[in-house]
Amino acid sequence: MGIDIKYLQRIVDEVLKASALKDITWSTLALVLTREDQGFANAGFYYQDDGSATPFYVNSNEHLVLSDMVQDMQQEITRQGPLQIQQLLVQIQQKSGFFKADFEFKNHQRWDFNTTELEPLQALLKPDFSE
């Protein structure tokens, strides 16, 4: 299956415009979009150079735009086969603009924010752009 990079680039561009990130210093971020009945929920962390992480989410108006973008990408994926995106992890490095994406097609809770233990999740999602 091949996914046109334009879908991911549009999502990254929209995340970078998010009001939750305005006037905040961050070096990398990880945002998880999770399938729900009415689209995709979102939650993530932004990381500072010192390694500290802060939870964030994209607000409702921006969220609707992101959800629509993921739905558009899902339509393209469906044309190629029966896969359904359950979660999409987007990681971005601010300085370079580099990004990575990871798709989860089976486990709806692979990156589960509905937990009281966020430290293991923030460590798991922390972007590594040293490759």
pLDDT above 70: residue 1? no
Average of per-residue pLDDT across 90-106: 95
- Asked if residue 65 is part of any domain, the answer here is yes
> What tokens appear for 112 in the block?
């589960």
Contact residues for 71 (Cβ-Cβ < 8 A; gap 6+)? 39, 40
pLDDT above 90: residue 127? yes
pLDDT above 80: residue 131? no
Query: Domain residues for 93?
Result: 5-125
- Asked if residue 116 is part of any domain, the answer here is yes
Element (H, E) at 80: helix 60-80
Split into its structural domains, the chain has a count of 1
- Here the CATH number for the domain that contains residue 59 is 3.30.500.20
pLDDT above 90: residue 36? no
- Asked if residue 130 is part of any domain, the answer here is no
pLDDT score recorded for residue 16: 94
Sorting pLDDT into bands at 50, 70 and 90, what band is 73? Answer: very high
- Asked if residue 56 is part of any domain, the answer here is yes
- pLDDT for 84-94, tens place per residue? 999 999 999 99
